[in-house]
Structure 1
Amino acid sequence: MNVMNSSVDWMLDDALTVPGTRHAILLSSDGMLRARSQGISRDEADRQAAALAGLQSISRSTTEFCGASETPWRQTLVEFAGGFVFLIAAGPGAYLAVSTSENVDMEAVTFRMHKLVDRLGKELSTPVREGYVG
Protein backbone atom coordinates (compact mmCIF):
# COMPACT_ATOMS: atom_id res chain seq x y z
CA MET A 1 0.00 0.00 0.00
CA ASN A 2 1.30 3.46 -0.87
CA VAL A 3 1.75 5.31 2.41
CA MET A 4 1.77 8.75 0.79
CA ASN A 5 -1.17 10.06 -1.18
CA SER A 6 0.32 12.55 -3.67
CA SER A 7 -3.17 13.38 -4.98
CA VAL A 8 -3.89 14.84 -1.54
CA ASP A 9 -0.50 16.50 -0.93
CA TRP A 10 -1.33 19.50 -3.11
CA MET A 11 -4.76 19.80 -1.49
CA LEU A 12 -3.15 20.22 1.93
CA ASP A 13 -1.52 23.40 0.65
CA ASP A 14 -5.07 24.85 0.58
CA ALA A 15 -5.10 24.71 4.37
CA LEU A 16 -2.10 27.04 4.31
CA THR A 17 -3.83 29.96 2.60
CA VAL A 18 -4.54 31.58 5.97
CA PRO A 19 -1.71 34.04 6.78
CA GLY A 20 0.56 32.66 9.48
CA THR A 21 0.10 28.98 8.69
CA ARG A 22 3.25 26.89 8.22
CA HIS A 23 2.68 23.20 7.51
CA ALA A 24 -0.12 20.68 7.10
CA ILE A 25 0.00 16.91 7.37
CA LEU A 26 -2.53 14.13 7.11
CA LEU A 27 -1.90 11.15 9.36
CA SER A 28 -3.53 7.88 10.30
CA SER A 29 -4.54 7.06 13.85
CA ASP A 30 -1.55 4.73 14.13
CA GLY A 31 0.92 7.49 13.22
CA MET A 32 1.51 6.80 9.54
CA LEU A 33 2.03 9.85 7.35
CA ARG A 34 -0.58 9.92 4.58
CA ALA A 35 0.13 13.30 2.94
CA ARG A 36 2.04 16.52 3.55
CA SER A 37 2.05 20.08 2.33
CA GLN A 38 4.96 21.66 0.50
CA GLY A 39 7.69 23.06 2.68
CA ILE A 40 7.92 20.23 5.20
CA SER A 41 10.39 17.44 4.57
CA ARG A 42 9.28 13.84 4.46
CA ASP A 43 11.41 12.98 7.51
CA GLU A 44 9.99 15.84 9.56
CA ALA A 45 6.43 15.04 8.47
CA ASP A 46 6.92 11.37 9.42
CA ARG A 47 8.21 12.39 12.85
CA GLN A 48 5.32 14.79 13.42
CA ALA A 49 2.74 12.22 12.26
CA ALA A 50 3.97 9.76 14.89
CA ALA A 51 3.92 12.40 17.63
CA LEU A 52 0.51 13.77 16.67
CA ALA A 53 -1.04 10.30 16.63
CA GLY A 54 -0.03 10.01 20.27
CA LEU A 55 -1.42 13.47 20.99
CA GLN A 56 -4.83 12.67 19.52
CA SER A 57 -4.93 9.39 21.42
CA ILE A 58 -4.19 11.14 24.70
CA SER A 59 -6.72 13.86 23.90
CA ARG A 60 -9.44 11.32 23.16
CA SER A 61 -8.71 9.48 26.40
CA THR A 62 -9.58 12.58 28.45
CA THR A 63 -13.21 12.92 27.29
CA GLU A 64 -14.59 12.07 30.72
CA PHE A 65 -12.81 15.14 32.09
CA CYS A 66 -15.06 17.22 29.80
CA GLY A 67 -18.29 15.41 30.58
CA ALA A 68 -19.83 12.08 29.75
CA SER A 69 -17.63 9.31 28.41
CA GLU A 70 -19.44 9.40 25.07
CA THR A 71 -18.37 13.04 24.45
CA PRO A 72 -16.70 12.88 21.02
CA TRP A 73 -13.24 14.36 20.51
CA ARG A 74 -13.24 17.09 17.88
CA GLN A 75 -10.03 19.09 18.05
CA THR A 76 -6.82 19.49 19.97
CA LEU A 77 -5.01 22.81 20.08
CA VAL A 78 -1.49 23.09 21.45
CA GLU A 79 0.02 26.51 22.08
CA PHE A 80 3.75 27.18 22.03
CA ALA A 81 5.67 30.44 22.52
CA GLY A 82 6.03 30.69 18.74
CA GLY A 83 2.73 29.33 17.49
CA PHE A 84 0.05 26.68 17.52
CA VAL A 85 -0.65 23.15 16.34
CA PHE A 86 -4.25 22.35 15.38
CA LEU A 87 -5.32 18.71 15.15
CA ILE A 88 -8.77 17.63 13.93
CA ALA A 89 -10.51 14.46 12.84
CA ALA A 90 -10.45 14.04 9.06
CA GLY A 91 -12.49 10.87 8.64
CA PRO A 92 -12.40 7.37 10.11
CA GLY A 93 -8.85 6.75 11.31
CA ALA A 94 -7.45 9.97 9.78
CA TYR A 95 -6.38 13.30 11.29
CA LEU A 96 -5.39 16.64 9.81
CA ALA A 97 -2.77 18.77 11.55
CA VAL A 98 -1.73 22.34 10.77
CA SER A 99 1.08 24.31 12.40
CA THR A 100 0.97 28.10 12.56
CA SER A 101 2.78 31.15 13.87
CA GLU A 102 1.57 32.85 17.02
CA ASN A 103 -0.04 35.68 15.04
CA VAL A 104 -2.69 33.68 13.20
CA ASP A 105 -6.44 33.96 13.00
CA MET A 106 -7.26 30.77 14.90
CA GLU A 107 -10.91 30.75 13.82
CA ALA A 108 -9.90 31.07 10.16
CA VAL A 109 -7.45 28.15 10.47
CA THR A 110 -10.07 25.89 12.04
CA PHE A 111 -12.65 26.92 9.45
CA ARG A 112 -10.22 26.26 6.57
CA MET A 113 -9.29 22.86 8.01
CA HIS A 114 -12.92 21.77 8.32
CA LYS A 115 -13.69 23.00 4.81
CA LEU A 116 -10.74 20.98 3.51
CA VAL A 117 -11.96 17.86 5.31
CA ASP A 118 -15.46 18.38 3.89
CA ARG A 119 -14.10 18.89 0.40
CA LEU A 120 -11.91 15.84 0.42
CA GLY A 121 -14.50 13.58 2.05
CA LYS A 122 -13.75 9.90 1.65
CA GLU A 123 -10.36 10.55 0.08
CA LEU A 124 -9.12 11.50 3.55
CA SER A 125 -10.51 8.35 5.20
CA THR A 126 -7.83 5.98 6.34
CA PRO A 127 -8.89 2.48 7.36
CA VAL A 128 -7.32 1.22 10.57
CA ARG A 129 -4.57 -1.32 9.92
CA GLU A 130 -5.30 -4.90 10.95
CA GLY A 131 -4.16 -5.67 14.46
CA TYR A 132 -4.07 -1.99 15.51
CA VAL A 133 -5.99 -1.12 18.65
CA GLY A 134 -6.49 2.64 18.93
Structure 2
Amino acid sequence: MQTTDNSLLWLLQGLLKKIPGARHGLVLSRDGLKLCWSDHLTLDQADQLSAICSGMQALAQGASVEFGDGSGGVRHSMTEFHGGQLFIVQAGAGAHLAVLAEESADPGVVGHQMTEFIDQIGDHLRAEPRGGAQGSAAS
Protein backbone atom coordinates (compact mmCIF):
# COMPACT_ATOMS: atom_id res chain seq x y z
CA MET A 1 0.00 0.00 0.00
CA GLN A 2 0.99 3.55 -0.58
CA THR A 3 -0.06 6.50 1.50
CA THR A 4 0.56 10.04 2.55
CA ASP A 5 -0.61 8.95 6.03
CA ASN A 6 1.12 5.79 7.26
CA SER A 7 -1.44 5.23 10.02
CA LEU A 8 -4.05 4.30 7.40
CA LEU A 9 -2.02 1.51 5.79
CA TRP A 10 -2.90 -1.39 8.06
CA LEU A 11 -6.50 -0.22 8.41
CA LEU A 12 -7.14 -0.20 4.68
CA GLN A 13 -5.35 -3.53 4.25
CA GLY A 14 -7.54 -5.06 6.98
CA LEU A 15 -10.69 -3.81 5.25
CA LEU A 16 -9.70 -5.30 1.91
CA LYS A 17 -9.02 -8.68 3.54
CA LYS A 18 -12.59 -8.69 4.93
CA ILE A 19 -14.23 -8.13 1.53
CA PRO A 20 -14.35 -11.18 -0.76
CA GLY A 21 -13.50 -10.03 -4.27
CA ALA A 22 -11.97 -6.69 -3.27
CA ARG A 23 -9.15 -5.69 -5.62
CA HIS A 24 -8.18 -2.16 -4.59
CA GLY A 25 -8.88 0.39 -1.91
CA LEU A 26 -8.39 4.14 -1.82
CA VAL A 27 -8.96 6.93 0.69
CA LEU A 28 -9.24 10.34 -0.93
CA SER A 29 -10.10 13.91 -0.09
CA ARG A 30 -13.33 15.43 -1.38
CA ASP A 31 -11.34 17.39 -3.97
CA GLY A 32 -9.57 14.30 -5.33
CA LEU A 33 -6.27 14.19 -3.44
CA LYS A 34 -5.32 10.55 -2.79
CA LEU A 35 -4.48 9.90 0.86
CA CYS A 36 -3.96 6.14 0.96
CA TRP A 37 -4.15 3.42 -1.69
CA SER A 38 -3.59 -0.31 -2.01
CA ASP A 39 -0.44 -2.04 -3.26
CA HIS A 40 -1.56 -3.09 -6.69
CA LEU A 41 -2.55 0.40 -7.79
CA THR A 42 0.28 2.25 -9.51
CA LEU A 43 0.77 5.91 -8.65
CA ASP A 44 -0.88 6.89 -11.95
CA GLN A 45 -3.81 4.52 -11.36
CA ALA A 46 -4.28 5.89 -7.83
CA ASP A 47 -4.32 9.43 -9.23
CA GLN A 48 -6.80 8.43 -11.93
CA LEU A 49 -9.08 6.55 -9.53
CA SER A 50 -9.00 9.43 -7.07
CA ALA A 51 -10.05 11.89 -9.78
CA ILE A 52 -12.82 9.55 -10.97
CA CYS A 53 -14.19 9.06 -7.46
CA SER A 54 -14.06 12.76 -6.67
CA GLY A 55 -15.94 13.56 -9.87
CA MET A 56 -18.55 10.88 -9.26
CA GLN A 57 -19.16 12.12 -5.73
CA ALA A 58 -19.45 15.71 -6.97
CA LEU A 59 -22.08 14.64 -9.52
CA ALA A 60 -23.96 12.65 -6.88
CA GLN A 61 -23.80 15.71 -4.60
CA GLY A 62 -25.44 17.81 -7.32
CA ALA A 63 -28.17 15.22 -7.80
CA SER A 64 -28.76 15.13 -4.06
CA VAL A 65 -29.13 18.90 -3.83
CA GLU A 66 -31.51 19.05 -6.77
CA PHE A 67 -33.55 15.90 -6.21
CA GLY A 68 -32.94 14.87 -2.59
CA ASP A 69 -34.01 16.59 0.59
CA GLY A 70 -31.85 19.64 -0.14
CA SER A 71 -29.12 18.80 2.35
CA GLY A 72 -26.72 17.74 -0.39
CA GLY A 73 -25.65 14.64 1.48
CA VAL A 74 -24.30 11.63 -0.41
CA ARG A 75 -23.73 8.52 1.67
CA HIS A 76 -22.96 5.83 -0.91
CA SER A 77 -22.26 5.62 -4.63
CA MET A 78 -21.96 2.37 -6.54
CA THR A 79 -21.12 1.74 -10.18
CA GLU A 80 -21.20 -1.67 -11.78
CA PHE A 81 -19.25 -2.02 -15.01
CA HIS A 82 -18.05 -4.88 -17.20
CA GLY A 83 -15.32 -6.55 -15.15
CA GLY A 84 -15.90 -4.90 -11.79
CA GLN A 85 -17.70 -2.68 -9.34
CA LEU A 86 -16.75 0.63 -7.75
CA PHE A 87 -18.10 1.62 -4.33
CA ILE A 88 -17.59 5.07 -2.80
CA VAL A 89 -18.70 6.14 0.67
CA GLN A 90 -18.35 9.32 2.65
CA ALA A 91 -15.60 8.72 5.19
CA GLY A 92 -15.18 11.43 7.77
CA ALA A 93 -14.91 15.17 7.29
CA GLY A 94 -13.91 15.93 3.71
CA ALA A 95 -12.87 12.36 2.84
CA HIS A 96 -14.17 9.39 0.86
CA LEU A 97 -13.40 5.69 0.87
CA ALA A 98 -13.44 3.80 -2.44
CA VAL A 99 -13.24 0.06 -3.05
CA LEU A 100 -12.87 -1.59 -6.45
CA ALA A 101 -14.17 -5.14 -6.42
CA GLU A 102 -14.57 -8.00 -8.86
CA GLU A 103 -17.78 -8.20 -10.85
CA SER A 104 -18.85 -11.22 -8.78
CA ALA A 105 -18.45 -9.47 -5.41
CA ASP A 106 -21.62 -9.21 -3.32
CA PRO A 107 -22.56 -5.50 -3.15
CA GLY A 108 -24.31 -6.03 0.18
CA VAL A 109 -21.16 -7.46 1.76
CA VAL A 110 -18.94 -4.76 0.27
CA GLY A 111 -21.25 -1.97 1.42
CA HIS A 112 -21.66 -3.48 4.88
CA GLN A 113 -17.91 -3.85 5.40
CA MET A 114 -17.24 -0.31 4.19
CA THR A 115 -19.93 1.13 6.45
CA GLU A 116 -18.63 -0.83 9.42
CA PHE A 117 -15.11 0.40 8.67
CA ILE A 118 -16.28 4.03 8.57
CA ASP A 119 -18.29 3.59 11.79
CA GLN A 120 -15.17 2.29 13.54
CA ILE A 121 -12.53 4.72 12.29
CA GLY A 122 -14.34 7.48 10.40
CA ASP A 123 -13.11 10.13 12.81
CA HIS A 124 -9.55 9.32 11.71
CA LEU A 125 -10.41 9.59 8.02
CA ARG A 126 -10.53 13.29 7.53
CA ALA A 127 -9.11 15.57 4.91
CA GLU A 128 -8.81 19.20 5.83
CA PRO A 129 -9.47 21.60 2.96
CA ARG A 130 -6.32 22.61 1.14
CA GLY A 131 -5.31 26.26 1.38
CA GLY A 132 -6.12 28.54 -1.52
CA ALA A 133 -3.68 30.43 -3.65
CA GLN A 134 -4.11 33.59 -1.59
CA GLY A 135 -0.92 35.55 -1.33
CA SER A 136 0.98 33.12 -3.55
CA ALA A 137 1.21 35.37 -6.61
CA ALA A 138 4.66 36.80 -7.12
CA SER A 139 4.99 40.52 -7.71
Normalising by structure 1, we get a TM-score of 0.87
- Higher Rg of the two aligned structures: 2
Q: What is the Cα-based RMSD across aligned positions, in Å?
A: 1.8
Is 1:130–2:138 an aligned residue pair? no
Identity %, equivalent residues: 32
| Superposition deviation, residue 38 in structure 1 | 2.3
Please give the secondary structure, in 1, of the residue aligned with 2:115: helix
- Name which of structure 1's ranges 59-68 and 78-87 shifts more when overlaid on structure 2: 59-68
| Higher RCO (CA 8 Å, separation ≥ 6 residues) | 1
Equivalent residues of 2:4, 2:35 under 8 A apart: yes
| Superposition deviation, residue 15 in structure 1 | 2.2
Q: Quick one: distance in 2 between partners of 1:38 and 1:7? A: 15
Q: Quick one: distance in 1 between partners of 2:68 and 2:7? A: 39
- Name which of structure 1's ranges 60-69 and 27-36 shifts more when overlaid on structure 2: 60-69
> Which residue identity lines up with residue 93 of structure 1 in the other structure?
G
Q: What residue number does 1:13 align with?
A: 13
Deviations 1:26-85 (A, max 9, x none): 000111000012222222112211221111001110014543222521111011011110
Normalising by structure 2, we get a TM-score of 0.84
Aligned residue runs from structure 1 range 83-94, under 5 A: 83-94=84-95
Q: Quick one: distance in 1 between partners of 2:10 and 2:41? A: 12
> Which residue identity lines up with residue 16 of structure 2 in the other structure?
L
Q: Quick one: distance in 2 between partners of 1:89 and 1:64? A: 16
- Structure 1 residues not aligned, in runs of 5+: none
Please give the secondary structure, in 2, of the residue aligned with 1:49: helix
Q: Quick one: distance in 2 between partners of 1:93 and 1:28? A: 6
Equivalent residues of 1:4, 1:34 under 8 A apart: yes
Q: How many residue pairs get matched?
A: 130
Please give the secondary structure, in 2, of the residue aligned with 1:127: coil
> Which residue identity lines up with residue 59 of structure 1 in the other structure?
A
- Name which of structure 1's ranges 66-75 and 47-56 shifts more when overlaid on structure 2: 66-75
- Structure 2 residues not aligned, in runs of 5+: 134-139
